[in-house]
C-alpha cells in the first residue's frame, strides 16, 4: 500500500469515528435538555408550594386577627359566655370617691352529662340556696345538654358552701357584678344596671350611651376605667340624711332636694325619698321610690313669687319700693285670691316678697301682662323639659288656653306644675347675675358654665332679687332657714295639693329655695316636703316656713364647710347688701 493510499484509509477511518462520536453525542444532549426542563419544572412547583404556604399563613393570620378584634363572637350552643357580662368603668364623685364599681362574681350551673344523680344535686344545692325552684332545675337537667343555669350573682360564702358539697356536675362561671358601696345615698343619680351589667337608669345608662366618657377620665392605679360625676359624696350624704330627718320629724310622706352650683350648673347633690338601694334593683320598681326631683311635676306654691317679682323688676314695670294695694282679696268671677296672713293694707314689692302676698304677686303679674309673663317663664326654662345626662325632666303642665286668671294664679305657684330640678335651674340666673346655665351631672368649671350660658335677665334684677331673698331669711317667712354665718337668702312655698279635684288645706306640698352666701351667691338649695304634719317641732304649724325652711337651714349649715364656704359673722350681723358677681358680662350672651 502506497503512502497516499495509507493516508486515504486513515482519513476514512477518522471520518467514521467522527460520525460514530456524533451519533453518540445526540442522546447525551437530549438527556441534558430533559434534565434542565425537569429542574425548571421542579423549581416552579417548589415556588408554587411556597406561595401556597405563604397565602395559607396569611389567611390563618388574618382570621386570627379578625377573631381577636371581634367582641361579638357568639358562644358555643349550650355554654354561658362570660363576655356577655359587660365590664363597666368605675363611677366616682368629684373628689374621686367610689360610687359604683365591678367585682367578679360567680354563676352556678350544672352540666347534665356529668350529673350522676339529679335528685341528690338539687337536694344538696337547696340546703345552700333554699329559694331555688327545685322542680324546674331537675326538669332541665334531665332534658340533657351541657349547661343548666341555677343561680347568678352568688356571694363568696355561697360559692364556698356549694363547692364544699362536692357534688359531681356542678360548676361555676365567673362574671362581673355591679356593686354600689354607698347604697341608696345617691341612687337616683347613679342609677342601676340589669343582670348582664347593662345600664338601665341614671348615669349608668348615660355611660353606656356615651362610651367615650371613660377615655376622658383618669384610670385607677389598677388600670380600671373611671367616669367622674359632679356629685360631692359629702354633700350628698348630708342632703340624704337631712331629708330623712325631715320625713321623720314632720311625719311627711316624702321629701326631695337638690344642690346646684350657680355658676357651673353642676348638680352637687340630689336626693329623693323614699329611694331604693341599687344593690337590690328590684326596689326601683316600687312607684313610691321614683325620683321626685326630675320625674315628678308639682305646683310648688309661693317660691314662684321669686320668678314673678323678678319678671316685674326686669321689665321695669315696678321697683322694690312700688306699692300694691293688698287691703282686700281679688275677686274674679267665682274665684277669690287672698293672703294666708294678710297685712290688709297697701304694701311695697319688698313686702309682697317677704310677707308672701298672693294679692301683691297677682297684681304684679297682671302689670307684666300675659304674653310677657309667659315669655319670662319660657326664658327661664319653666315651660319646657330640661335635658340632663340622666334624661329629660318630666314635661311641665300648664293651661292650654292661658288666660289672665292663669297668669294671676301662676304668679303665686298654682296652675303651673314643674319638677324641682327645673325650678332650681330657673333660680340660677335670678341669683348669679342673670345668666341661665344648663344643669349637669358631669364636672364643669364655673368659667365654662358661665361662658356657655345665656343672659336671660339684667344683672341689676339679680342683685335686687338676692337682696330680697336675704331680707326674707332675716325678717320674713324664711327666718328659720338662716344658717348662722353663711348668709342664707330664700323663699318659702306652701302649696295646697289637689284632692278629689279640689285644693285641700290639709294636704300641703311645702318647699324652700335658698341661695348662699347671699353677699356673693355660689349655690342654690331647694327642698320639697310632701304633706308634712303639724307637730311639736314645727310649733304645730305645717307651712313651709315651719318645716321646709329649717330643713334647708340644717342642710346649708352642714354642707357649707364641705363646699369651702367660709362663715362670716360680721356680715351676718350687718344689714342685707347687694351681692357681688365676679364674672364679666362679656363672657355670656347678650340680653
pLDDT at 222: 61
Query: Measuring CA to CA, how many Å separate 400 from each of 27, 372, 397, 403, 406?
Result: 112, 16, 9, 9, 10
208 and 247, same domain (yes or no): no
- 33, part of any domain: no
Query: Measuring CA to CA, how many Å separate 191 from each of 215, 316, 395, 559?
Result: 21, 45, 21, 23
The CATH number of the domain where 388 resides is what?
3.40.710.10
Q: Give the Cα separation of 471 and 531 in Å (integer).
A: 27
- 133, part of any domain: yes
Q: Which of 213, 229, 245 is the last residue of a domain?
A: 229
455 and 539, same domain (yes or no): yes
Per-residue pLDDT of the chain (591 residues; tens, 9 = 90+): 555 655 566 655 656 555 555 555 555 667 777 777 777 777 777 777 877 777 877 777 766 666 555 434 333 333 344 444 678 999 999 999 999 999 888 889 999 999 999 999 999 999 999 999 999 999 999 998 889 999 988 888 999 999 999 999 999 988 888 999 999 999 999 999 998 889 999 999 999 999 888 766 766 666 678 999 999 999 999 999 999 999 999 999 999 999 999 999 999 999 999 999 999 999 999 989 999 999 999 999 999 999 999 999 999 999 999 999 999 999 988 889 999 888 999 999 999 999 999 999 999 999 999 999 999 999 999 999 999 999 999 999 999 999 999 999 999 999 999 999 999 999 999 999 999 999 999 999 999 999 999 999 999 999 999 999 999 999 999 999 999 899 999 999 999 998 888 888 889 999 999 999 999 999 999 999 999 999 999 998 999 999 999 999 999 999 999 999 999 877 666 554 445 454 443 333 322
Q: Give the Cα separation of 426 and 421 in Å (integer).
A: 8
How many domains in the chain?
Answer: 2
- 353, part of any domain: yes
Give the contacts of 318 (CB within 8 A, at least 6 positions apart).
312, 349, 364, 367
pLDDT at 497: 92
User: Which cell numbers in the block locate residue 191?
Assistant: 342609677
Q: What number of other Cβ atoms are within 10 A of residue 589's Cβ?
A: 13
- 210, part of any domain: yes
132 and 275, same domain (yes or no): no
pLDDT at 483: 92
Quick one: which H or E segment has residue 69? helix 3-69
Give the contacts of 145 (CB within 8 A, at least 6 positions apart).
78, 112
Q: Give the Cα separation of 530 and 551 in Å (integer).
A: 13
475 and 491, same domain (yes or no): yes
453 and 582, same domain (yes or no): yes
211 and 275, same domain (yes or no): no
224 and 313, same domain (yes or no): no
Catalytic amino acids?
302
- 327, part of any domain: yes
**Residue 85 contacts residue 196 (beta carbons within 8 Å):** yes
**Residue 514 contacts residue 259 (beta carbons within 8 Å):** no
Q: Which of 177, 200, 229 is the last residue of a domain?
A: 229
Q: Give the Cα separation of 292 and 256 in Å (integer).
A: 6
478 and 571, same domain (yes or no): yes
The CATH number of the domain where 87 resides is what?
3.90.1310.10
Helices (H), 269-304: none
pLDDT at 67: 57
159 and 123, same domain (yes or no): yes
pLDDT at 335: 83
Phi-psi region of 191 (alpha: psi -120 to 50; beta: other; left: phi over 0): left
- 437, part of any domain: yes
Q: Give the pairing type, strands 90-92 and 226-228.
A: parallel
- 73, part of any domain: no
326 and 201, same domain (yes or no): no
Domain that residue 528 falls in: 236-587
Q: Which of 229, 252, 274 is the last residue of a domain?
A: 229
Q: How many residues does the chain have?
A: 591
Quick one: which H or E segment has residue 524? strand 523-530
213 and 359, same domain (yes or no): no
3-class DSSP state of 173: strand
pLDDT at 527: 98
216 and 267, same domain (yes or no): no
CB-count exposure of residue 443 (10 Å: 0-12, 13-18, 19+): middle
* Cα angle: 130, vertex 136, 138; to 5 degrees: 85
Amino acid at each position: 500500500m502506497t503512502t497516499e493510499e495509507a493516508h486515504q484509509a486513515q482519513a476514512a477511518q477518522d471520518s467514521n469515528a467522527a460520525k460514530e462520536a456524533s451519533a453518540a453525542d445526540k442522546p447525551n444532549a437530549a438527556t441534558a435538555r430533559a434534565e434542565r426542563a425537569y429542574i425548571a419544572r421542579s423549581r416552579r412547583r417548589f415556588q408554587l408550594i411556597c406561595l401556597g404556604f405563604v397565602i395559607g399563613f396569611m389567611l390563618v393570620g388574618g382570621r386570627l386577627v379578625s377573631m381577636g378584634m371581634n367582641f361579638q363572637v357568639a358562644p358555643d350552643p349550650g355554654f354561658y359566655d362570660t363576655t356577655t357580662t359587660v365590664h363597666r368603668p368605675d363611677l366616682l364623685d368629684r373628689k374621686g370617691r367610689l360610687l359604683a364599681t365591678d367585682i367578679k362574681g360567680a354563676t352556678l350551673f350544672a352540666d347534665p352529662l356529668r350529673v350522676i344523680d339529679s335528685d341528690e344535686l338539687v337536694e344538696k344545692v337547696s340546703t345552700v340556696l333554699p329559694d331555688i325552684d327545685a322542680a324546674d332545675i331537675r326538669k332541665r337537667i334531665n332534658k340533657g345538654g351541657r349547661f343548666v343555669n341555677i343561680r347568678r350573682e352568688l356571694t363568696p360564702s355561697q360559692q364556698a358552701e356549694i363547692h364544699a358539697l362536692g357534688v359531681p356536675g356542678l360548676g361555676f362561671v365567673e362574671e362581673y357584678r355591679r356593686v354600689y358601696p354607698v347604697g341608696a345615698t345617691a341612687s337616683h343619680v347613679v342609677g342601676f344596671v340589669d343582670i348582664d351589667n347593662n345600664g338601665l337608669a341614671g348615669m349608668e345608662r348615660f355611660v353606656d350611651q356615651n362610651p367615650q366618657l371613660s377615655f376622658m377620665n383618669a384610670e385607677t392605679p389598677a388600670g380600671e376605667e373611671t367616669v367622674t360625676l359632679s356629685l360631692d359624696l359629702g354633700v350628698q350624704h348630708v342632703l340624704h340624711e337631712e331629708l330623712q330627718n325631715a320625713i321623720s320629724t314632720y311625719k311627711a310622706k316624702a321629701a326631695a332636694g337638690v344642690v346646684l352650683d350657680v355658676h357651673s350648673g353642676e348638680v352637687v347633690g340630689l336626693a329623693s325619698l323614699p329611694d331604693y338601694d341599687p344593690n337590690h334593683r328590684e326596689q326601683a320598681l316600687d312607684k313610691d321610690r321614683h325620683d321626685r326631683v326630675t320625674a315628678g311635676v308639682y305646683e310648688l306654691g309661693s317660691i314662684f313669687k321669686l320668678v314673678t317679682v323678678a319678671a316685674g323688676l326686669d321689665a321695669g314695670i315696678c321697683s322694690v319700693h312700688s306699692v300694691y294695694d293688698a287691703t282686700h282679696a281679688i275677686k274674679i268671677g267665682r274665684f277669690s285670691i287672698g293672703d294666708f296672713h294678710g297685712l290688709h293694707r297697701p304694701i311695697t314689692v319688698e313686702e309682697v316678697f317677704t310677707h308672701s302676698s298672693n294679692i301683691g304677686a297677682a297684681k304684679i303679674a297682671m302689670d307684666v301682662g300675659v304674653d310677657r309673663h309667659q315669655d319670662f317663664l319660657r326664658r327661664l326654662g319653666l315651660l319646657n323639659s330640661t335635658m340632663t345626662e340622666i334624661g329629660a325632666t318630666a314635661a311641665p303642665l300648664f293651661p292650654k288656653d292661658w288666660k289672665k286668671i292663669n297668669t294671676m294664679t301662676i304668679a303665686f305657684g298654682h296652675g303651673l306644675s314643674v319638677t324641682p330640678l327645673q325650678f332650681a335651674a330657673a333660680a340660677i340666673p335670678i341669683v348669679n347675675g342673670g345668666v341661665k346655665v344648663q344643669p349637669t351631672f358631669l364636672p364643669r368649671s364655673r368659667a365654662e358654665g358661665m361662658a356657655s350660658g345665656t343672659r336671660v335677665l339684667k344683672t341689676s334684677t339679680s342683685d335686687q332679687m338676692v337682696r330680697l331673698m336675704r331680707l326674707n331669711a332675716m325678717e320674713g317667712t324664711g327666718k328659720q332657714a338662716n344658717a348662722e354665718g353663711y348668709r342664707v337668702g330664700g323663699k318659702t312655698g306652701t302649696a295646697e295639693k289637689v284632692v278629689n279635684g279640689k285644693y285641700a288645706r290639709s294636704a300641703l306640698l311645702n318647699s324652700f329655695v335658698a341661695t348662699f352666701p347671699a353677699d356673693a351667691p355660689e349655690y342654690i338649695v331647694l327642698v320639697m316636703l310632701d304633706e308634712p304634719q303639724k307637730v311639736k317641732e314645727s310649733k304645730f304649724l305645717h307651712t313651709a316656713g315651719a318645716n321646709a325652711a329649717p330643713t334647708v337651714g340644717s342642710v346649708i349649715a352642714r354642707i357649707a364647710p364641705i363646699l369651702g364656704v367660709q362663715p362670716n359673722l360680721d356680715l351676718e350681723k350687718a344689714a342685707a347688701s347687694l351681692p357681688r358677681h365676679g364674672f364679666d358680662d362679656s363672657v355670656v350672651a347678650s340680653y
